[in-house]
Amino acid sequence: MSVEEGDRLLVRAVRHGGPWTAGLALAALTAAAADLLLPAALGAAVDAVLAPDGNPARWLAVAVVLIGLVAAAEILTDLAAGMSGARATARLRHTVAGHVLALDPRASRRCPPGDLVSRLVSQVPEAGGAAAAVVLAGAALVPPLGSLAALTLIDPWLGATFVGGLVVLGLLMRTYVTDAAEATTHYQRTQSDIAARLTEALAGARTIGAAGTVDREIARVLRPLPSLGRHGARTWDTIGTAAARGAVVAPLVQIAVVTVAGLALTAGRLTPGALLAALQYAALGAGLGSVVGVLGRIARARAGSRRIAEILAAPAHRHGDADLPTGAGRLELRAVTVRDPGGGDRPLLDRVDLVVPGGATVAVVGHSGSGKSTLAAVAGRLLDPDDGDVRLDGVPLRRLRQEVLRRSIGYAFARPVLIGDTVGAAIGLGPDRRAPDLLRADARAARVDAVVDRLPAGYDTPLRDAPLSGGETQRLGVARALRAERLLVLDDATSSLDTVTEYEVYQALLGTRDRRTRLVVTHRAGTAARADLVVWLDHGRVRGYAPHHALRTEPEYRMLFPAAGR
């Protein structure tokens, strides 16, 4: 991920602020303009007091109006900054979440949950504040530039003196944003590392407790803490150095302007009111506190944008615009190769050629690490192969429209994650709403309808209030997959079921009325025996493809199953 990609995302974040960004610019510039006019009005009031026929009340009234305008504009600035940041943050979070969900499993593994949550919770808002940071940075230029113009109009020597001070300030601040952004990026990355470690530890809390390694795990989670401290200290050192330089130079600039203004007053080139205005313009233009704060916001927004751009740089699935012709669900894998993203010596799948006839049930068996789950993933395009092609009824999966693909292929996993507000919503999850009678039919087929009926509110029971065992969760996952129209992919989806329940589920799935194609990853001989064909994988290659009774003549094939199931 290049710095340019992060900066392009920063520009997008500014645009995401929408109309509130324009309102913020108007309010901030109005406040800056009123601030610039106020010294002139007060100076004119002083001169009017000293003049025999002056009218100070008029200029005091102008000053009061300007003060009220500044107050109102600053209130609107705060409101617009908050609203533009909230709008941009929401858009960025939606973009990042959608992109992560569109990644294939290999790419999504590069985003550990803790790291992703850290970026979404803390770093996306930093990037979302880009509009406010940029607008306020632009507004922060108005006081020094306006003060320069005003001082030059009052007396050219005052303008020249002030320019010298601004040049010195600019030289001292030239690397501040870059250094602060780099330090903040390292801080955010280390913070995400700690969050990822903590999430892993919480997910394995029972294992850690059973192993008695709580103290060791705490040490592992907090191991990056010294690095976090160093990067945090560097961030504050950068800010403190910039503020210290400004604290030294800014008063010197004011002293220089006051000295020149005093000499001009002595020489008769300035009035007392003009001297007062000059002093105020020098203080207004040389004040660095707001500038450092605004530049700090830009640095944090830039760092946050870089961190978000790292996620968005991972390529997401691209879908085509094709529909499926009429067909029975014939699945074809043509020279499919999937390489290990970790750079292993051998591919996960190695030039696999396979044809699953429409309406057939094919079991996938093999030792752990043989490529079973990878084959299941490419069969329904949860994962794209590095080489080769996967087709359903003659159409490459890459060419299908997303809604067609997900309506045609259903997945059930060994550890399904139930998503939705209620049990019924979890079963009906999909591209379109599932009718209640179809939900109940799917639950009956998965042999989980009796479990749902015993829940407090049946299918309307909130998931958080549904005490489900591992086997019951698996059956709900199977029920969710049954909405598929042509292909069911069951990746070890009944491993937590007892033998009797598994038999009942498969009897329902293999019924004569249901002619969908089924690809079943299994470790059980009974499941393989009930299938029409068995794919025997070994080190990513198809070692055998035949009915179970034909393959079981091979001793190594029989060794795949427990002795009781051979």
Residue 156: HSE in the Cβ half-sphere, 13 Å Cα cutoff: 0
pLDDT of residue 135: 87
* Contact in structure between 366 and 560 (CB atoms under 8 Å): yes
pLDDT of residue 246: 67
pLDDT of residue 247: 67
Q: What is the C-alpha separation between 197 and 217, in angstroms, rounded?
A: 9
pLDDT of residue 564: 47
Q: What is the C-alpha separation between 177 and 135, in angstroms, rounded?
A: 16
563 pLDDT exceeds 80? no
Note the pLDDT tens digit of each residue in 53-82.
777 888 889 989 999 999 999 999 999 999
Give the chain's radius of gyration (CA, Å): 34
pLDDT of residue 365: 94
Q: Return the minimum-mean-pLDDT range out of 69-83, 141-155, 474-488.
A: 141-155
Residues whose CB is less than 8 angstroms from the CB of residue 224 and which lie 6 or more positions away in sequence, other chains included:
190, 193, 194, 197
30 pLDDT exceeds 90? yes
Q: What is the C-alpha separation between 363 and 166, in angstroms, rounded?
A: 76
Residue 487: HSE in the Cβ half-sphere, 13 Å Cα cutoff: 29
Mean pLDDT of 147-162: 85
334 pLDDT exceeds 60? yes
Torsions phi, psi for 150 (to 5 deg): -65, -45
Residue 334 has which token pair?
Answer: 């043509």
* Residue-averaged pLDDT of the chain: 84
pLDDT of residue 492: 82
pLDDT of residue 142: 84
In sequence order, the β-bridge partners of residue 481 are none
Residue type, 98: G
Helix runs in 267-371, H state only: 272-286, 289-312
Residues whose CB is less than 8 angstroms from the CB of residue 61 and which lie 6 or more positions away in sequence, other chains included:
none
pLDDT of residue 46: 87
Q: Packing angle between helix 225-266 and helix 272-286, nearest 10 degrees?
A: 160
Mean pLDDT of 425-447: 83
Mean pLDDT of 415-440: 83
452 pLDDT exceeds 80? yes
pLDDT of residue 290: 61
Q: Return the minimum-mean-pLDDT range out of 109-113, 414-418, 451-455.
A: 109-113
pLDDT of residue 293: 67
565 pLDDT exceeds 60? no
- Going by C-alpha positions, the residue among 284, 114, 277 that lies closest to residue 199 is 114
Q: What is the C-alpha separation between 531 and 552, in angstroms, rounded?
A: 13
Q: Return the minimum-mean-pLDDT range out of 335-339, 433-437, 557-561.
A: 433-437
Give me the residue label for tokens 């198809």.
Answer: 542
Residue 129 has which token pair?
Answer: 């504040």
146 pLDDT exceeds 60? yes
Residue 1 banded pLDDT, cuts 50, 70, 90: very low
Where is pLDDT greater, at 286 or 138?
138
- Winning range, highest mean pLDDT, from 249-253, 345-349, 393-397, 557-561: 393-397
Mean pLDDT of 469-480: 87
Domains and CATH numbers, the chain: 3-312 (1.20.1560.10), 331-565 (3.40.50.300)
Note the pLDDT tens digit of each residue in 166-215.
777 667 666 666 777 778 888 888 888 888 888 878 777 777 877 788 88
531 pLDDT exceeds 80? yes
513 pLDDT exceeds 60? no
Q: Return the minimum-mean-pLDDT range out of 62-71, 295-304, 375-384.
A: 295-304
Q: Return the minimum-mean-pLDDT range out of 108-122, 288-302, 430-444, 521-535.
A: 288-302
Q: What is the C-alpha separation between 254 and 358, in angstroms, rounded?
A: 85
